[in-house]
Amino acid sequence: MRGRPSLHTRYEADSAMLPTATQRLWFVVGLLAVVVLPLWLPRDWMILIATAFIAAVGVIGLNLVTGYAGQVSLGHAFFLGIGAYAGAALGGVATDKVIGLGLDVIIWVPAAGVIAGAIGAAIAPVAVRLKGLYLAILTLGLVFLGEHLFREWESVTGGPGVGRKPGSLTLFGWHFDQDGTVGGFAVTREQQVYWLALVVLLIMGFLAKNLVRSKIGRAFAAIRDRDIAAEIMGIGLTRQKVLAFAVSSFYAGVAGALLFTVTGFVNTASFNLLLSINYIAMVVIGGGASIAGSVMGAAFLTLLPRMIDAAGNVLPFLEVGSTGLLSTSQLERVIFGVLIVAFLILEPMGLYGIWIRIRNYWKAWPFSY
Amino acid sequence: MTQFLQATVAGLSLASIYMLLALGFVIIYKSMRVLTFAHPAVMLFGAYMVSWLAIDMELGFWVALAGGMVAAGVLGWVAERVAIRPMVGKPLFAIAILTLGLDIAIRTPINNLIGVNIRSVGDPWGFGTWNVGSVIIQHRSVAMIAAATIVGTLLLVFFRYTRIGLAMRATAADQEVALAQGISVGRIFSLAWVMAGAMAALAGTFASSDLSGLTQSTYLVALKALPAIVVGGLDSIGGAVVGALVIGMAEAYTATYQGQYVAFLGGNFSQVIPYVVLLVVLLIRPYGFFGTKEVERV
């Protein structure tokens, strides 16, 4: 096979995580760049990128159920909320208003995922009976029921307007959320949170990639493409759909648990329909049925406000405040809405699809194919 | 008993609002198999236009109401032409998600216009009431129930006895066959969105005519009409009416009795009861009570 590295003669080689040498090389280079980046980044950018990493975990989860298994869920905010509060209750500090067990991060992050996953699996039997748009409406209802639950369950959530602190990032006595020193080097709180988020994303991304290239992933795709055909091929629809919901909710739980450790505050109003739409938008803009696309979508939409802020300093009509046509935050919302519409009409494969097109163009260059 | 009747009146007026919205959802769904999540934005725009014409322009309520309905109809038409038409034939989910984006893109500028204060729509009913026995009936409740009944009847007549109504029913039954009969299916799509938009504006105006007025969060009313169409079945006009009644009544009775009997469910539980009903109905009947069960051929 020497000299023909793209020729795969075995299934293992064909379905490898990074099938070509070029991909492996660039993955390592990119990873190194991302790892050393916080040594120079300003603090606010580190926070932003760490948020993007954690959001990417949630987006991967939504992509598993929506992009791969084809079940549209508008209820992701609900599961993010479950994860956030499960994490906060297990890993947070108890006060006179809210409960908190103060466990280690290695316990409460997976536990938050498992709790969210269990609730996802409990709801799934209702969901798997439904198809298409009925499912979308059901999961939309879930968000409103969740919001009500979070408002009322004050011993866990702190109640509306009050909120609470999320779980504290303590691993075997080491505090990620405080500045410290490692081997003589001073590391800031932001740097540690950044690296922690990166590690979580790598683990969860690796697991998801493995899932989707396995038998289960192929079953998900078969259900998405034609559920009746999938059933005839011997795929248990109920079983696989419940599994898809459970895994997706697990990812949402982990993401939700960590998402608010960056800002250090969980508010009950955060888990609304807009958050769900945000995640759906990240899947759509990043690219459905693609792990790399999920990360791209999460990064793009998390960094979008900063880019628009920067543009607002240049463009005169975007004045902040009531004098301008729209404030920058409102403009950001409008652009967000327009992006969803534009991507669905013009590029249904999302950013990942654009990347594939560019890559294929240069692969064949100077020929057109 | 007085309390029960009082709750019934409140439920009927809520049901009228939900019915106007649910009919819009169903007309759009039947004509082009699209579930629109952009309805909240269209409703809010219509209600805002009524408020702007009536209060800022001082045109009088009835002129403003007509203007608002026309404006929301035009918005529906534009939205359909620009964003939905290019997606015809694409997966249903993709279109549903697209309308979510559309909703945000339209609603944000309207929020900016509404501002943070409560706006009035300048309705003539105010807080006027009639006393029937011991039951207090607001004038606006009567107006709402009457309007919903009239619109419902007009729609029935329109679909049954007019040429365009027949064309819409034909399109709902089979788009290709309708095309072959010389019906302009594209125009039917536009008409569906215009009708839905106008009804949404009417509903939005009614929803904003009580104490809470027109605010940025009035859009939540339109989302509560979604459980109504699921209870009835996405593709059933009669189902939409029944669904709206069920949801409106459930909300009103919960608002009246939940605090007395099941207080542990928390304050404002009536705001989420539509979604509880939705969950229960979908558990029993995955296609709603009057929806067509999809028969798939392989």
A173 lies in some domain: yes
- Whether B88 and chain A come into contact, CB under 8 Å, resolves to no
- Whether A348 and chain B come into contact, CB under 8 Å, resolves to yes
Contact residues on chain A for B286, CB-CB shorter than 8 A: 129-131, 134
Contact residues on chain B for A326, CB-CB shorter than 8 A: 108-109, 112
The residue among A62, A76, A134 with the most chain B CBs within 10 A of its CB, best to mutate, is A134
What residues of chain A, 162 to 221, have a C-beta less than 8 Å from chain B? none
The nearest CA of chain A is from the CA of B124 a distance in Å of 32
Nearest chain B residue to A340 by CA distance is B101
A31 lies in some domain: no
Count of domains forming chain A? 1
Contact B104 A126 (CB under 8 A): no
Contact residues on chain A for B279, CB-CB shorter than 8 A: 126, 138, 141, 145
Contact B101 A337 (CB under 8 A): yes
Residues lower than pLDDT 50 in chain A? 322
Contact A330 B112 (CB under 8 A): yes
Contact B282 A341 (CB under 8 A): no
Residue B242 has pLDDT above 80, yes or no: yes
Q: What is the DSSP string of chain B?
A: -HHHHHHHHHHHHHHHHHHHHHHHHHHHHHHHS---S-HHHHHHHHHHHHHIIIIIS---HHHHHHHHHHHHHHHHHHHIIIIIGGGTTS-HHHHHHHHHHHHHHHHHHHHHHH-SSPBP---S-TT-EEEETTEEEEHHHHHHHHHHHHHHHHHHHHHHHSHHHHHHHHHHH-HHHHHHTT--HHHHHHHHHHHHHHHHHHHHHHHTSSTT-B-GGGGHHHHHHHHHHHHH-TT-HHHHHHHHHHHHHHHHHHHHHHHHH-GGG-TTGGGTHHHHHHHHHHHH-TTTTTPPPPP---
A68 lies in some domain: yes
Contact A141 B275 (CB under 8 A): yes
Contact A334 B271 (CB under 8 A): no
- Whether B261 and chain A come into contact, CB under 8 Å, resolves to no
At A85 the pLDDT is: 92
Q: Which amino acid is at B38?
A: A
The residue among B97, B114, B270 with the most chain A CBs within 10 A of its CB, best to mutate, is B97
Give per-residue pLDDT as tens, B262-275: 777 877 888 889 99
A271 lies in some domain: yes
User: Which bin fits B33, alpha (ψ -120 to 50), beta or left (φ > 0)?
Assistant: left
Closest CB from A138, A281, A327 relative to B278 = A138
At A331 the pLDDT is: 82
Size of interface A-B (CB pairs under 8 A): 132
Contact B108 A229 (CB under 8 A): no
Nearest chain B residue to A343 by CA distance is B98
- Whether B263 and chain A come into contact, CB under 8 Å, resolves to no
| CATH code, domain with A298 | 1.10.3470
Contact A334 B108 (CB under 8 A): yes
Closest CB from B274, B283, B296 relative to A228 = B296
Contact A280 B226 (CB under 8 A): no
- Whether B93 and chain A come into contact, CB under 8 Å, resolves to yes
Pick from B239, B168, B179, B173: which is nearest to B26 by CA?
B239
With tokens 């729209």, the residue in question is A326
At B72 the pLDDT is: 96
A9 lies in some domain: no
At B177 the pLDDT is: 93
User: Which bin fits A64, alpha (ψ -120 to 50), beta or left (φ > 0)?
Assistant: alpha
Give per-residue pLDDT as tens, B160-219: 999 999 999 999 988 999 999 999 999 999 999 999 999 999 999 999 987 788 988 899
- Whether A232 and chain B come into contact, CB under 8 Å, resolves to yes
Rounded-to-integer distance, Cα A52 and Cα A194, Å: 10
What residues of chain A, 58 to 87, have a C-beta less than 8 Å from chain B? 66, 70, 72, 74
Q: Which domain covers residue A199, as residue numbers? A: 41-364
At B293 the pLDDT is: 74
What residues of chain B, 98 to 127, have a C-beta less than 8 Å from chain A? 98, 100-106, 108-109, 111-112
The nearest CA of chain B is from the CA of A343 a distance in Å of 9
Nearest chain A residue to B95 by CA distance is A344
Q: What angle do CA B159, B174, B191 make, to 5 degrees?
A: 45
Contact residues on chain A for B298, CB-CB shorter than 8 A: 228-229, 232
Contact residues on chain B for A131, CB-CB shorter than 8 A: 286, 294
- Whether A106 and chain B come into contact, CB under 8 Å, resolves to no
Residue B137: phi, psi to the nearest 5? -115, 125
A311 lies in some domain: yes
A85 lies in some domain: yes
A4 lies in some domain: no
At B14 the pLDDT is: 92
Rounded-to-integer distance, Cα B290 and Cα B288, Å: 6
Closest CB from A126, A152, A277 relative to B283 = A126
At B16 the pLDDT is: 94
Q: Answer with the residue of higher pLDDT: A158 or B239.
A: B239
Q: Taking residues B38-58, what's their average pLDDT?
A: 92
The residue among A137, A227, A238 with the most chain B CBs within 10 A of its CB, best to mutate, is A137
Contact A344 B279 (CB under 8 A): no
Contact A341 B83 (CB under 8 A): yes
Pick from A73, A24, A59, A37: which is nearest to A287 by CA?
A59
Contact B87 A345 (CB under 8 A): yes
Quote the ipTM score.
Answer: 0.89
- Whether A319 and chain B come into contact, CB under 8 Å, resolves to no
At A317 the pLDDT is: 60
Nearest chain A residue to B279 by CA distance is A138
Rounded-to-integer distance, Cα B253 and Cα B7, Å: 6
Asked whether B241 and B152 are in contact (CB, 8 A), the reply is yes
Predicted TM-score of the model (pTM):
0.91
